[in-house]
Structures are given as structure tokens and as C-alpha cells.
């Protein structure tokens, strides 16, 4: 494990008034500054979303979602960062691609919208990538008593099947990322088991994205109720993810995570 390269950092730029973790938007006038700041802090990718997927969240109509994220995508396009759009809607992903996004980050693994596979193919054709995330149920209902016989096997098999569906639709495996979907239809024990066995996802043969930053299980383990104060726990998970071979870490606290990773990698590689 010691020779693993440092993972890329995906900084979260929320354009959702109801996101669980930072509860808000950066004012339009401050977007370009925030984007430049995040890149300077170490973000290789900027993940822009306009529909919260926190447990219990309501869906957002497409025009409203686009209205929320368009200024952030505009501000991020043309910078050195790869622009990622966090959406379940094909139309939003299509508009984002036109505006410069090159990563389609879909928490439904292209199952929510029947048009998504076609748009995903357009991302791959443009040299971009698609992230396929595992979720049990949708955000509205996913935390109501989630059950698995073997969470690691079921998540791995689901993601492998979604990768196969993409390949059958003409998307090369090299354009695909897989993500265990921490907190998406999972209990504390499910999350911990998946994190301990993250390396099992490498068998799929795609790069791994891990999004655990500020999530509820960190609050449960630490007693910290305020999501914005969960950076220390989030960094502990990020370092663990790096050691398990995660290729991309989706985080809120970019500067802090980048610093911790730099030290961790130096210690592990000598």
C-alpha cells in the first residue's frame, strides 16, 4: 500500500440552500474568489451541486437546479480544476457539459433519469468521466431501516453491474469512477464496514471516489452535532480512504485535507 499515489481532492462547492453540511450558497459575486481559493488550497476537482441529497431532502425542479448551479459552473470553467456536476438529471448534466463540466457525478449511478446513459456517453466522448455511486433507495427514504446480507459484496456487485451497463452502452471503463455512497441507505455499521473494506472495490477495475466529509456517521462517532465542525473526523476518514486506495476524495475542508494528506503520504512513502 505504501507506494499508492496521493489521491486527488474534489472540493465541494454547494449551491444548495439546504445542504446538510454547510447550509448554503456562496454569494454570486464571491464565486470566482471562492473557486480560486479552493484551487489554491489544493482542489483538483470542483464538485458543483444544486440539489441536496442529504437524508430526507426534497427533489428540486430542473430549472431551479440549473439556476442555482450555472453561476458556479461558469466561475469554475476555464480554471485549472476539473469541473464536476453533482446531479441525477440528464438535462442538467447536458447543460453543464456545454458550460464546461467534464465529470458527471450521479448519486443514482445513471438510474434516476432514462436519458442519463446517453449524456454519460457524451461526457466520455468529450474526454470526461462519470461517477457511479451506490445508494439504497432515494434521498427521501434511504435512511429508513436500510438492510443488507453482506454490504461489501452487495455494493461491489451493484457497482460492477452499473459499470457493465455503461460498457454495454459504449462507455469505456477508463471513463468510469465508482463510489460506495457513504451515508446513502447505510447504518453506522454499514458505513464502517464499507470503509474498512474499501479496497474490495478495486476488483471492479475502476478508479474509486470516496465522499465521507462531514457526514452523519462522523457526528455519531464523535458526538459533534454541528456538521461544519466535523473537519477532524472527516480528515481521519480521508487518510484512511487514501490508505485503502481511494483515487479521489470528495471534501468540504480542502486546505486541511490537503495538508493532512501531504504528511500522510510522506510518512507512508518515505
Residues that bind ligand HH2 (CB under 6 A): 12, 14, 16, 19-22, 49, 52-54, 86, 105, 107, 131, 133, 179, 181-182, 209, 211, 250
State the nearest-atom distance from the C-beta of 98 to ligand HH2, in Å. 21
Q: How far is CA 167 from CA 172, 174, 175, in A?
A: 6, 10, 10
65 or 179, CB closer to ligand HH2? 179
Task: Return the C-alpha torsion angle 17, 55, 14, 62, nearest 10.
Answer: -70
Long-range contacts of residues 226-234, Cβ cutoff 8 Å, at least 24 apart: 227/20, 227/21, 227/22, 228/21, 228/22, 228/23, 230/21, 231/256
235 or 269, CB closer to ligand HH2? 235
State the nearest-atom distance from the C-beta of 149 to ligand HH2, in Å. 23
Give catalytic status of residue 215 as yes or no: yes
136 or 182, CB closer to ligand HH2? 182
22 or 41, CB closer to ligand HH2? 22
Q: Which of the residues 95, 250, 255, 268 is marked catalytic?
A: 250
State the nearest-atom distance from the C-beta of 124 to ligand HH2, in Å. 17
Q: Which of the residues 88, 207, 215, 230 is marked catalytic?
A: 215
Q: How far is CA 238 from CA 104, 115, 145, 228, 233, in A?
A: 22, 33, 26, 16, 9
228 or 266, CB closer to ligand HH2? 228
Give catalytic status of residue 54 as yes or no: no
Residues 6+ apart with CB under 8 A from 109: 132, 133, 134, 135, 158, 159, 162
Phi, psi of 142, deg, nearest 5 = -65, -25
Q: Residue with the closest Cβ to ligand HH2? A: 211
Residues 6+ apart with CB under 8 A from 234: 212, 213, 214, 215, 218, 251, 252, 253, 257
162 or 250, CB closer to ligand HH2? 250
Rounded CA-CA distance 179/23 in Å is 24
Q: Kindly report the three-state secondary structure assignment for every residue of 155-203.
A: HHHHHHHHHHHHHHCCCCHHHEEEECCCCCCCCHHHHHHHHHCHHHHHH
Q: Known catalytic residues? A: 215, 250
Amino acid at each position: 500500500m505504501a507506494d499508492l499515489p496521493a489521491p486527488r481532492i474534489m472540493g465541494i462547492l454547494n449551491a444548495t440552500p439546504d445542504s446538510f453540511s454547510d447550509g448554503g450558497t456562496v454569494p454570486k459575486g464571491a464565486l470566482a474568489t471562492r473557486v480560486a481559493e479552493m484551487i489554491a488550497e489544493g482542489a483538483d476537482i470542483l464538485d458543483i451541486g444544486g440539489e441536496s441529497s442529504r437524508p430526507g431532502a426534497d427533489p428540486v425542479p430542473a430549472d431551479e437546479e440549473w439556476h442555482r448551479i450555472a453561476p458556479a459552473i461558469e466561475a469554475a470553467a476555464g480554471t485549472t480544476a476539473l469541473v464536476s456536476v453533482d446531479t441525477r438529471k440528464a438535462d442538467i448534466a447536458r447543460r453543464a457539459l456545454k458550460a464546461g463540466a467534464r465529470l458527471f457525478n450521479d448519486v443514482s449511478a445513471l438510474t434516476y433519469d432514462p436519458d442519463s446513459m446517453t449524456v454519460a456517453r457524451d461526457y466520455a466522448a468529450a474526454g470526461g468521466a462519470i461517477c457511479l455511486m451506490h445508494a439504497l433507495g432515494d434521498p427521501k427514504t434511504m435512511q429508513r431501516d436500510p438492510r443488507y446480507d453482506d454490504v461489501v459484496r452487495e455494493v461491489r456487485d451493484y457497482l460492477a453491474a452499473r459499470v457493465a451497463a455503461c460498457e454495454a452502452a459504449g462507455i469505456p471503463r477508463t471513463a468510469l469512477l465508482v463510489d460506495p455512497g457513504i451515508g446513502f441507505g447505510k447504518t453506522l455499521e454499514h458505513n464502517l464496514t464499507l470503509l474498512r473494506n474499501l479496497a474490495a472495490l478495486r476488483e471492479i477495475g475502476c478508479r474509486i471516489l470516496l465522499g465521507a466529509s462531514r457526514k452523519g456517521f462522523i457526528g455519531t462517532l464523535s458526538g459533534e452535532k454541528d456538521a461544519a465542525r466535523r473537519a477532524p473526523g472527516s480528515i481521519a476518514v480521508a487518510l484512511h480512504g487514501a490508505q485503502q486506495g481511494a483515487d479521489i476524495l470528495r471534501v468540504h475542508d480542502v486546505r486541511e485535507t490537503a495538508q493532512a494528506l501531504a504528511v500522510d503520504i510522506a510518512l507512508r512513502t518515505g
